[in-house]
Amino acid sequence: MPCSLGDDQMIDETETVLFARSGAVAIITLNRPEQRNAVNGTLAEELRKAVIRFESDASLRVAILTGQGRTFCAGMDLAAFLEGQGDAILFGEGRFAGFVDAERSKPIIAAVEGAAIAGGMELTLACDMIVAGTSAYFGLPEVAVGIFPVAGGAFRLARKIPPAKAMQVCLTAQRISAQEGLAFGLVNELVPDGEALTKAMILAECIARNASRAVEAAYTINRRVALKNEAEMWALSEELWGPSQVQLTHLRVLRPSKRNANLCGQTKRQIHEASKSGLSSPQVLGHF
């Protein structure tokens, strides 16, 4: 749960995203705690605007992305997807959540408490550094319900951790603990639960104290390396997503009939496996 940042913070609140500042640091908070900060169309648009606000303010040097409540982000809100918000959530400006492929020139640190799964993990992979509480965990459980990580996870994870481990995570839907994330190099700092935002602020302030032009140059080079060949990977992901999303719409089936009994039985097994992989009932299928 995000902590207080001191008397100098100024908070502007929207329905789904909070934007605050402390000195040269922006704090962007996903604010749908009752939905485990799942991304719907509104949140995607507000997060996109928050990133633009951060980028356009020359007095802000670093941003922190965090989540309100006990979960960082449980990914896409499936109910919103089924209501027709899929394009806004996944393929609007900046792609998923208006964030994972946003144009940026300044560093963003993810402060993670609790679960960062599916699209939630892909948000962390789009950040430049990760600070995590000891009970935090990460995962890409999409394959357990017949889809795949379309928001960058399928190719970015292999750039952050050993490729063989990334392959295992993507194909088995197994989750990564914060401790494993630190060992693999996914997580920069591991802290006691409840202190991720505090540590992220310390890291951000350390960056902000350094010479702005030097930081900008070093960041530009590092980011260009990190994003190398991504255009090709995005194109491939979106090409393969078409057949995958058909399976996602099947998850709407609630009552078995002779025609869909086998599908419902399969879906129940997938829900069970996804739950074991990191998603918690009753919202297992609510967030990808």
d(CA 280, CA 81): 19
- Give the pLDDT band of residue 11 (cuts 50, 70, 90): low
Tens-place pLDDT, residues 27-68: 999 999 999 999 999 999 999 999 999 999 999 999 999 999
Q: What are phi and psi of 140, to 5 degrees?
A: -125, 80
Mean pLDDT of 200-211: 97
Tell me if 76 sits within 8 A of 96, measured CB to CB.
yes
Is the pLDDT at 267 greater than 90? The verdict is no
Report the pLDDT value the prediction gives residue 231, as an integer from 0 to 100.
87
- Which of 91, 220, 221, 230 lies closest to 154 in space, CA to CA? 230
Is the pLDDT at 190 greater than 60? The verdict is yes
What's this model's pTM, rounded to 2 decimal places? 0.83
Q: Is 102 helix (H, G, I), strand (E, B) or coil?
A: coil
Residue type, 8: D
d(CA 20, CA 200): 14
* Residue 201: both structure tokens together: 């602020």
| Catalytically annotated residues | 122, 142
DSSP state at residue 65: E
Sheet strand arrangement including 175-177: 115-117, 137-139, 175-177
- Which of 21, 27, 184 lies closest to 110 in space, CA to CA? 27
Sheet strand arrangement including 189-191: 10-13, 17-22, 25-30, 62-67, 108-112, 129-133, 189-191
Is the pLDDT at 82 greater than 70? The verdict is yes
* Residue 197: both structure tokens together: 């935002």
Q: Is 272 helix (H, G, I), strand (E, B) or coil?
A: helix
Give the position of tokens 């996914």.
186
d(CA 251, CA 264): 8
Give Cα separations from 222 to 44, 146, 186, 201, 226 (angstroms). 26, 34, 16, 21, 6
Is the pLDDT at 5 greater than 70? The verdict is no
d(CA 100, CA 118): 13
Report the pLDDT value the prediction gives residue 262, as an integer from 0 to 100.
38
- Which of 212, 279, 198, 167 lies closest to 62 in space, CA to CA? 212
Is the pLDDT at 1 greater than 70? The verdict is no
**For all residues of the chain together, what is the average pLDDT?**
83
Tens-place pLDDT, residues 99-155: 999 999 999 999 999 999 999 999 999 999 999 999 999 999 988 888 888 888 999
